[in-house]
Amino acid sequence: MTLVIVLIVVAVALLVSAGLVVSTRSRRGAALEGRGAPQPGTLPSTASTISAQAEPEPSPRFEAEAARPVMRDRLGRARGLLAGYFDQVRGRKGIDDATFEELEEALILADVGVATTTRVLGDLRDKLHSGALSATDPTALLQALQDDLVAMFDGDVGSLAYGDGDGPTVWLFVGVNGVGKTTTIGKLALRETESGRSVVLAAGDTFRAAAGEQLESWAERAGARIVRGSDGADPSSVIFDAVQHAASRRAGLVLADTAGRLHTKVNLMDELRKVRRVAERPPGQLTEVLLVLDATTGQNGVVQARQFTEAVGVTGIVLTKLDGTAKGGVVLAIRSELGLPIKLVGVGEAPADLVPFDPAEFVSVLFG
């Protein structure tokens, strides 16, 4: 505890000094409350509205395709940059330091991160030195690298778990702002209703303006029910209501949306902990806590995954927006550091573009 006191003293000294600057500037004051604090005017949980859409209106654009698109088909157009590096490696006669430099650059450009890249390439060098790999065959080296990367995802299944008890299965979606949580839920709702499940959407993002409306338009499309709270309502209460609603209607699946939040916001992460506690309360069976991650995210993705896992026990990752030029290599770093499986991948705007993760495809796309 001594240490804590020392730290406080340090911080106080700093902050008092900071405060001096404030007061001399005499600027706006009034401490702003975090949004986790109760706000006057917000309605209690009973104000949740429940609406149901009997008839889905499938717009032509969102009609599901007959065959499941494979990642590769969707991602073909995004190759280029990295492919060049690997072609160069293949084109060389032997394997030398330049080969490894090129591999390193390619992996780093794919956002794999320095630590993971160094480790993976170190293993590869070891294989080369021990004679397990021929020093004159760059193609075999590339194949070995691909195999190593695929092996990192050993044991992953790209499917989501359903509860085996009586109550509705609950999947909770978490992540930072703007990664595509609501869109992912919308697409999944469509997929699940099409496969004959009765789905309830819980509009747990009560913070962002019009997030509820966005989810509602997906509910309409999917023919799912939606439970909404008033703006600024406690997200836990919305999700509680959704689970109750699902149980009473004997709906099998609840997809719970949450507001995007940066993992550095303590009060919001606390709020999320509470959401999780409520979501796993019977009759609900919480089987998946999915972290939605934008493929353009850099090394901060690892920090995000760690913080969210600590707070709410993430069970898997949904990697969105992989149809752009970003490679999403940060999931390799996350996998190697935290062991989290990747469950779904978003490779386009249409609902059918949310596909199960396939390590071999993912890695082969990485290699262009």
Partner 1 sequence: MFDTLTDRFDAIFTRLRGRGRLGDAEVAEVLREIRVALLEADVNLVVVRDLLEAIRARCTGAELAKHLTPAQQVIKVVNEELTVTLGGEALKISYASKPPTVVLLAGLQGSGKTTASAKLARWFRQQGRHPYLIGADLQRPAAVEQLRVLGAEIGVDVFSEPTDPVSVVRSGLAEARRLGRDVVIVDTAGRLAIDRVLMDEVRRVSEALHPDYTFFVVDAMTGQDAVQTAEAFHQALQLDGIILTKVDGDARGGAALSVKQVVGRPIAFLSTGERVADFEIFHPDRLASRILGMGDVLSLIEKAEREYDEEVTGQTIERLQAGTFTLDDFLDQLRQLKKMGPLTGLLSLMPGVPKEVRDAKVDDRDVGKIEAIICSMTPLERTDPTVLDGSRRLRIAHGSGTSTTEVNNLLRQFKEMQKMMRGIGPMAKLMGGRPGNPSKSSKGNRKKVKGGRVTPSSRGLGPTR
Nearest approach, Cβ of residue 217 and partner 1 (Å):
4
Count how many Cα atoms sit within 13 Å of the Cα of residue 201 in the half-sphere of its side chain: 36
β-strands 49-52, 225-228 pairing: antiparallel
Which one, 132 or 303, has the nearer CB to partner 1?
A: 303
Structure tokens that stand for 211 in this block: 């997030």
Which one, 133 or 322, has the nearer CB to partner 1?
A: 322
Residue 238: DSSP 8-state: H
Q: Is 12 helix (H, G, I), strand (E, B) or coil?
A: helix
Nearest approach, Cβ of residue 244 and partner 1 (Å):
26
How far is the CA of 190 from the CAs of 54, 236, 260, 285, in angstroms? 14, 24, 22, 21
Please answer whether residues 163 and 290 qualify as being in contact, where contact means their C-beta atoms are separated by less than 8 angstroms: no
Residue 346: DSSP 8-state: E
Nearest approach, Cβ of residue 243 and partner 1 (Å):
24
> What number of residues does the chain have?
368
Which one, 286 or 291, has the nearer CB to partner 1?
A: 291
Which one, 109 or 157, has the nearer CB to partner 1?
A: 109
Which one, 26 or 130, has the nearer CB to partner 1?
A: 26
Nearest approach, Cβ of residue 131 and partner 1 (Å):
29
Q: Which of 329, 323, 275, 325 is nearest to 302 (CA)?
A: 329
Please answer whether residues 172 and 275 qualify as being in contact, where contact means their C-beta atoms are separated by less than 8 angstroms: yes
Nearest approach, Cβ of residue 186 and partner 1 (Å):
8
Query: How crowded is residue 232: how many other Cβ atoms within 10 Å of its Cβ?
Result: 14
Nearest approach, Cβ of residue 27 and partner 1 (Å):
7
Which one, 7 or 157, has the nearer CB to partner 1?
A: 7
